[in-house]
Structure 1
Amino acid sequence: MFRYEIDEDIVLQQLEILDAQVLFQLIDRSREYLRAWLPWVDGNETVDDSQAFIEHTTQALEAKKGLTTGIYFQGKLVGMAGFNSLDSQNKIGHIGYWLAEDYQGKGIMSRVARALTEYAFHELDLNRVEIRAAYENVKSRAIPNRLGFIEEGKIRQAEWLYDHYVDHVVYGMLASDWENTW
Structure 2
Amino acid sequence: MFALPLTDEVELRPLEPWRAEEFLAHLDRAREHIRPWVSPTFVATDLPSARAVLQRYADRWASDSGGIWGLWRHGTLVGGVMFVSFDVTLGVCEVGCWLEPDAQGRGLMAPAIHRIVDWAVRERGIQRVEWRTDAANTRSIALARRLGLRHDGTLRQVHPSPRGRIDLEIWSVPADEWLARPTPAPPTVH
Same fold (TM over 0.5): yes
3-state SS, counterpart of residue 167 of structure 1: strand
For structure 2, the residue ranges without an aligned partner over 5 or more in a row are 183-190
1:30 partner letter: A
Task: Spell out the pairing of 1:143-182 with structure 2 (5 A cutoff).
Answer: 143-162=143-162, 164-182=164-182
After superposition, the CA RMSD in angstroms is 1.9
TM-superposed CA distance for 1:158, in Å, is 2.6
The change in CA–CA distance for 1:4 and 1:160 in structure 2 (over 3 A counts) is farther
Counterpart for residue 94 of structure 1: 94
CA distance in 1, matches of 2:68, 2:162: 23
In the other structure, the counterpart of 1:139 is 139
Q: 5 Å matches for 1:59-70?
A: 59-70=59-70
Cα distance, 1:99 vs structure 2? 0.4
Deviation at 1:91, TM superposition (A): 0.7
The alignment partner of 1:176 has SS state of: helix
Q: 2:47 — aligned with what?
A: 47
Aligned partner of residue 161 in structure 1, secondary structure = coil
Alpha-carbon spacing, 1:42–1:66, altered in 2? closer, same or farther (3 Å): closer
Amino acid at match of 2:36: A
3-state SS, counterpart of residue 30 of structure 1: helix
TM-score (norm 1): 0.91
Name the CA distance, whole Å, in 2 between partners of 1:13 and 1:152.
31
| Paired residues of 1:71 and 1:78 also in contact (CA < 8 A) | yes
Measured in 1, the distance between the counterparts of 2:41 and 2:175 equals 33
Which residue number in structure 2 is paired with residue 126 of structure 1?
126
1:156 is paired with a residue whose SS is: strand
Write out per-residue CA displacement over residues 23-63 of structure 1, whole angstroms, 9 at most, x where no aligned residue: 11111122211112223268622011101111111111000
Cα distance, 1:4–1:86 mapped onto 2, change above 3 Å: farther
Structure 1, unaligned stretches of length 5 or more? none
* CA apart distance, 1:131: 0.6
Cross-structure match for 1:20: 20
Give the corresponding residue for 1:73: 73
Post-superposition Cα deviations, 1:106-148, rounded to whole Å, max 9, x if no partner, equal: 0111111222221111122211111111111000111110121
Q: 1:176 Cα deviation (Å)?
A: 0.6
CA change 1:123–1:4 in 2 (3 A) is farther
Question: Match for 1:96: what amino acid?
Answer: G
For the residue of structure 1 that corresponds to 2:132, the secondary structure is strand
Matches of 1:10 and 1:159 in 2, distance apart? 34
- The secondary structure found in structure 1 opposite 2:165 is strand
Aligned to 2:185: none
The residue type equivalent to 1:86 in the other structure is F
Distance 1:31 1:43 in 2: 6
SS, match of residue 164 in structure 1: coil
